[in-house]
Structure 1
Amino acid sequence: MQSLSRALTVLAELNREDRAYGVTELAVTVGLHKSTVHRILATFCAHGLADRVDDHRYTALDGLAALRRTAQRRAGPEHTLTALGDRLGRLVVLAKPLPKTTGTVLQVAAVAGGSSVQPGHAVSLRQSALGRAYLSALPTNEVTGTPDLLDTLQRIRVSGFAHNARPVASLPRMVAVPVRASDGTCAGALGAELIQQGSVDEVRRVVSVLRSGV
């Protein structure tokens, strides 16, 4: 625990002011050996908590918020879904394309906050909020369908979310947003159950929370 205490002391000092700190300055301030502080700072840089300005100076990045995001990325989508489900207090679903069927078939990849939907369930592309949110983020030349569907997808592109007013197969009434990969392509859709029938305020609130997780 002593090493953790030392690291937290250095982290707190590094975040005290919005400027670069020298290794010697930090060592003197926190009462540690320069080599110890140097090792701690190297660890911070590796985890996105600090940035090396030059050979002997470091600056804080996003502090503990960055550490939390790093932990979430390492824990995978299930961790993010659990956090969203806890925050919303309702079913949250992540749907992704099946292997080798990108753009044609979706299935539930992960679930949090409910048991009515299970991983592996098929997702309707053209009727469900999850499917339509996914389709709306694909290149328009890759999506075919009826004029009504294409008009709906265009409205979703403008608003940034899709929703269905009635249950679709195993899915309840939901609102969903596209999930994009690091290269900008659509990797799936993230949706949450709608509890209040026809409530615009509820849709807006849930969409805001979902967007914080993508």
Structure 2
Amino acid sequence: MLKTLDGALALLTRFTLREPTWGVRELAKETGTHHAVVHRVLATFAANGFLTQDSAGRYSLGMRLFELGQVAHRTFAPSDVVQPALDALAHESGETVFLSFIDGAEGVCTDMAQSRQQLRFSIELGQRFGLVAGAHAKAILAFQTDAVRAAVYREAGLLDTADIEARLATVRADGFSHTSEEAAATVGGLALPLWSRDRTRVIGSLAIAGPAQRLEGEAIPRLLDEMKKARDVIEPVVGLTR
């Protein structure tokens, strides 16, 4: 039974921002699962509101998952506290601000406040990203255990990890991460780690991203001061106590 459940959930996780809809045979081919099995699983999810099916027979995520997502979000990062803090930081910094949390070998953007400037960095809510590139990623990865970092490197296909390990050591020593044109051309980033409520582990990051030239030199200490104020508000209410 658990094996069946694992298989069903594996199919459900194929619905992503990049690939939000699937046909039965298409998903069967992608996953190597018999199409009859895929049909039964998707139909069951649809019958319970977790998926919807359009007139062409393609499936997409349903409102039941949206409802559960709202519950999870309010539990993990209550918007009445988090969003005003992000909005204030975006206003003070003039840049896009976003909150991310670790999920396995990846990070997920859960909350954001957009810059009002014409030239700005964009990230989508729910967007997943690898943990080896970008200030927002490194602020998370630097504080993970050796085993977690090794798993992330395997997922990213990194064989020589000496350089990134040295960079992460600097992040741990500094207490923040700064990158320039690492995750994307012309984009700079600045990020602080977010600790769990019991202070035992880093569960995410608070990041600012924008044109690299605006996140250099004298701007860094000023931005870090503003980010630390925002983190002091956000950190006590995000994540789980255990």
* TM-score, with structure 2 as normaliser: 0.51
- Structure 1 residue 124 corresponds to structure 2 residue 130: yes
- The count of aligned residue pairs is 139
Deviation at 1:204, TM superposition (A): 1.6
Deviation at 1:80, TM superposition (A): 1.5
Distance 1:106 1:154 in 2: 20
Secondary structure of the 2:86 match is helix
Task: Give a deviation string over 1:43-72, Cα, whole Å, max 9, x none.
Answer: xxxxxxxxxxxxxxxxxxxxxxxxxxxxxx
Secondary structure of the 1:199 match is coil
Deviation at 1:205, TM superposition (A): 1.4
> What aligned pairs does 1:22-101 form with structure 2 within 5 A after superposition?
75-98=80-103, 101=104
Distance 2:86 2:209 in 1: 13
Larger Rg: 1
Deviation at 1:149, TM superposition (A): 0.8
Distance 2:185 2:136 in 1: 12
Distance 1:171 1:154 in 2: 25
Does the CA-based 8 Å contact 2:98-2:208 persist in structure 1?
A: yes
Distance 1:190 1:143 in 2: 19
Distance 1:108 1:170 in 2: 20
- Structure 1 residue 177 corresponds to structure 2 residue 228: no
Aligned structure 1 segments of 4 or more residues deviating by more than 4 angstroms: none
Report what 2:141 is aligned to.
135
CA gap of 1:188–1:171, structure 2 versus 1, over 3 A, is farther
| Larger RCO (CA under 8 A, 6+ residues apart) | 2
Pairing partner for 1:157 from 172, 178, 202 = 172
Question: Which amino acid is 1:97 matched to?
Answer: I
Distance 1:206 1:140 in 2: 30
Secondary structure of the 1:132 match is helix
CA gap of 1:190–1:171, structure 2 versus 1, over 3 A, is farther
Report what 2:218 is aligned to.
201
Report what 1:210 is aligned to.
227
Moved more, 140-149 or 165-174: 165-174
Does the CA-based 8 Å contact 2:139-2:177 persist in structure 1?
A: yes
Distance 1:153 1:167 in 2: 14
Secondary structure of the 2:198 match is coil
Does the CA-based 8 Å contact 2:111-2:125 persist in structure 1?
A: yes
CA gap of 1:111–1:168, structure 2 versus 1, over 3 A, is same
Moved more, 170-179 or 125-134: 170-179
* TM-score, with structure 1 as normaliser: 0.58
Distance 2:139 2:90 in 1: 19
Deviation at 1:142, TM superposition (A): 3.4
Deviation at 1:112, TM superposition (A): 0.4
Deviation at 1:193, TM superposition (A): 2.1
Distance 1:160 1:177 in 2: 7
Deviation at 1:141, TM superposition (A): 4.8
Secondary structure of the 2:230 match is coil
The CA RMSD over aligned residues, in Å, is 2.6
Secondary structure of the 2:223 match is helix
Deviation at 1:166, TM superposition (A): 0.6
Secondary structure of the 2:99 match is strand
Distance 1:167 1:148 in 2: 14
